[in-house]
Structure 1
Amino acid sequence: MTTTHADAAPTRSLVGRYFRQLGIDTQYVLIGFPIGMVTFVVGLSGFALGISTAIIWVGLPILVGTLMLSRGFAMAERARIGPVLGRRMPHPRYKRVRGEGALRRTFGPLSDGQTWLDLLHAIFRFIPNTLGFCFVVTWWSIALAGLTVPLWDWALPHTPDNHELHELLGFQDTMGTRVLFNFSIGVFFAGTLYWVVRGAALMEAHFAKGLLVSVSALREQIAVAEEARDVAQQQKAAAVSAEAVALRKLERDIHDGPQQRLVRLAMDLGRAEQQFTADPDRARAIVAEALAQTRETLDELRALSRGIAPPILVDRGLRAALTALAGRCTIPVDLDAPPLDRLEPAVESTAYFVVAEALTNVAKHSYANEVQVSVQRIATGLIVTVADDGVGGASLAKGHGLAGLDDRVRAAGGVLSVDSPQGEGTRLTAALPL
């Protein structure tokens, strides 16, 4: 059975990664030991001297200098542990004091928690550094000595103590057996070298990561979670506000439209019932008028239902719904809406109402001659733009007509912006996430 080049390539790659990582871990541990001794002496002595003389204010500058020096060692260590862990370590955000006087800026590091963690690492890193250094040096020394024993064993003196030890171990004290025994020890240590060195390097690297990176990363995650919570609360408040505005508008529209027509319809039918005997022709005219009012009421109810959940949007999608919306507008609409795949119902509904509300405001207030509606799908969301050539002056401030629309867009996780200088038209843009 032969081995092809394709089969040998992954093996060579694996062996190359093995030796490359072994070299990285070895130099990390060996260099880390003297650095750990230096940081221990500097950090502990600076901290002790600064604390002991802080009462006479001399110690504060010493303490600040020690903290800043520890920060420098920490930055170097973050760069060193990246190759060991296989990823680049992020640098934490240190507290910055600006614009509050030179004295407060000088002593600002004293109030920074991450800087104190850097000092803690500088003082106590010698413990994993020393342990790792001992294991790595021991394993490398015995592995190299055992594997090369045939080259130098002949030059060693062999005392009677050696003979007694070999007899206790159960083999004859000959040069061949002695070399074989020492060589087997070297093979064992060489075979376990990678894992021992890797373990020592990971021990030091994770100790450093825990103090220099993990706490800061946890704070960042907490900050992101709090920000997401605030955004969710804002979206919830916007959704409640948009729903309340929509319900009030629907109630007002029903009260001013279909409800008044139904009241009048009931009154007309009552009059017609009274006149069927005395004046049948007049009664039939009243009934005919009532039928016309019924049809008008049905039209108004259909229009209101389209405002709640347009059937064409549900059945045929956003592009068809916007086409129908543009056809009903009293101002010419230039619609640029390429065919789109069906989106999430909430996104389609929000995009539809953005265009519907914008076209309604244009028809009522803008005195525009033309409206341009554009819908564009991008990698992260949907961009809806409505631009007119009217008088401008639109605003998202509370009390204006677009405030409720802004709440609806924010409830969907999007952003609504309005550019409407006086006399230069209005451009409304909604960005909706998918």
Structure 2
Amino acid sequence: MCKETKDTTPLPTYGWEEIKKHATKSDRWLVIDGCVYDVTRWAKRHPGGERLIAHHAGQDATDAWVAFHKDHKAVGKYLKPMMIGVLKEGEAKENELIKDWRDLRSKAEDVGYFRASPIFFSLILLHIIALEVAAWFLLYTFGVSWLTLLAASILLVTAQAQAGWAQHDYGHLSVFNSSRWNHITHIFTINFLKGASSSWWNYRHYQHHAKPNRMSKDPDIRMDKLFVLGKVQPVEWGQKKKKGFFGLKFNFQHEYFFFIMPPLLMPLYFNYEIPYFLISRKLWNELFWMGSFFVRYCIMFHHFLGIWGSLCLYLWVRFLESHWFVWTTQMSHLPMDISHDQDEDWVTMQLKATCNVDPSFFNNWFSGHLNFQIEHHLFPTMPRHNLAKVAPLVRSLCKKHGIEYQSKSLLTAFSDIVGSLKDSGEMWVEAYNM
């Protein structure tokens, strides 16, 4: 029940039938821990973005709210003025699974799994900087040749990929106790070290975590002009006789995937989407810090390659990194359940949409510990070095409640991406020809 009602004047009570009516752009209610909040006016000022609020309108957002925020007392102060009532007695969406899940989270907090290791994250940043310095030193010492450029490219690609995983840590507030320091270091890592944007990443990535693999809510699966995904979308599009760009037929998507997503996502699409996002929202400060990356890159490599050569090196590095990024990020989501939002509980929704890749020193490093995708989605603010520690507890929870917990080898995970695209394409053509 709502804890905010203690020692206060009794507030109106609402049932789910009424709450679910308030899920429009001009009228948004949500429930957190039995309290009913009208967040309509607050939505546009929400640091995580308006859409994150919209995706939970008319629903119980308790576990999402707990998962995304570190200092619940501080954030709770913003909620108090928006409370308009309480959930009717007996209508709380709390079953045995949710009770066990919340007990598990409390246990993880008590044993310190949400405390970050300063040494671990310092070493992560140092090895990223060391890789970039090594690439520069290689060209400085041995000159420009195809062999030194290839070696330098490998070092730079590795630095960029690892910086991608590092910025992910800071973006999820999982390193420092202070949200402010997490935000500052996030800007340094993603804007200055990677040439992207923290605001753009927050806008996209928090939506993905809130409703993973849920059509119209997860931006990471909005690929319908190029790919149809899962088992629902292919049938819907096939029945409506829809095709992709320029009449693209989706039954070939498992083949043209290799020529579109891995090589072009970062050097082509992201280089368009991110500046557009920042300029359209007039985020000039972010644009400055993003631009500082390109200035830094040109300063580092201008002596060896000139301005245009430095930019060509950047695009080459992005081209290679894009393969790393796409295969690693898609392996845990694309083969999983992709459908419309069913307003499921936090645990069921996350387990349907995610799977793990078997742990090893290489797999952990290669994926930035995102091979523990299940644990990361359940505990997005947990430092990545503790995901392996909480994994046995999550496995036990899933076993007790009959929820499938998938973990597979790295190569199987890669293969399943292509296999799922092939299956979805076949569903599309079958529905299209009916």
TM range (shorter): under 0.3
TM-score with structure 2 setting the length: 0.20
Larger radius of gyration: 1
TM-score with structure 1 setting the length: 0.20
